[in-house]
Amino acid sequence: MNADNSERRRFPRRPVSIQVKYRSLDTFFYDYAINVSHGGIFIKTRRPLARGSELEIEFEIPAAPRSFKTQGKVMRVILPGKDEMEPAGMGVEFAPLTEADKELIDLLWQQSAKHKEPA
């Protein structure tokens, strides 16, 4: 990501590695997210949905009281082989989140940071 992209972001993004289940129309997909913020998520996939696609997203957060579920819209698509510096996938903007949903993302961030700390 270049400096221009980071300055445009409304929400800080943090790296994660979590399996995400998502549905668009009547098709279900399972892939991995590589970063998440209160505003959205980047799902690494070799078969990204078209820009503008609407989807339902769900993922589990260990020790959380419930799974994270929300609606989203594909805002950015990186096709396989398009950019060697970035993985193929799609950036999904979340529908406005509740405070409880933001707390789940904060919990995920905390858990991800613990797994990256040196032993």
What does the buried/exposed string (b/e) look like for 42-72 if buried means 16 or more CB atoms within 10 Å of the residue's CB?
bbbbeebbeeebebebebebeeeeeebebeb
| Structural domain total, the chain | 1
* Containing structural domain, residue 29: 3-109
CATH assignment at residue 101 = 2.40.10.220
Model pLDDT, residue 9 = 58
Q: How confident is the model over 77-116, as pLDDT tens digits?
A: 999 887 678 899 999 999 999 999 999 999 999 888 775 5
Question: What is the mean predicted confidence (pLDDT) over 32-56?
Answer: 96
114 belongs to a structural domain: no
59 belongs to a structural domain: yes
Rounded-to-integer distance, Cα 13 and Cα 52, Å = 21
pTM for the model: 0.85
10 belongs to a structural domain: yes
Q: How confident is the model over 49-76, as pLDDT tens digits?
A: 999 999 999 999 988 999 999 999 999 9
22 belongs to a structural domain: yes
E strands, 1-119, in order: 14-24, 27-36, 40-44, 54-59, 68-78, 89-94
88 belongs to a structural domain: yes
Residue predicted with more confidence, 12 or 46: 46
Cβ neighbours around 109 below 10 Å, total:
19
Model pLDDT, residue 113 = 77
Rounded-to-integer distance, Cα 63 and Cα 82, Å = 37
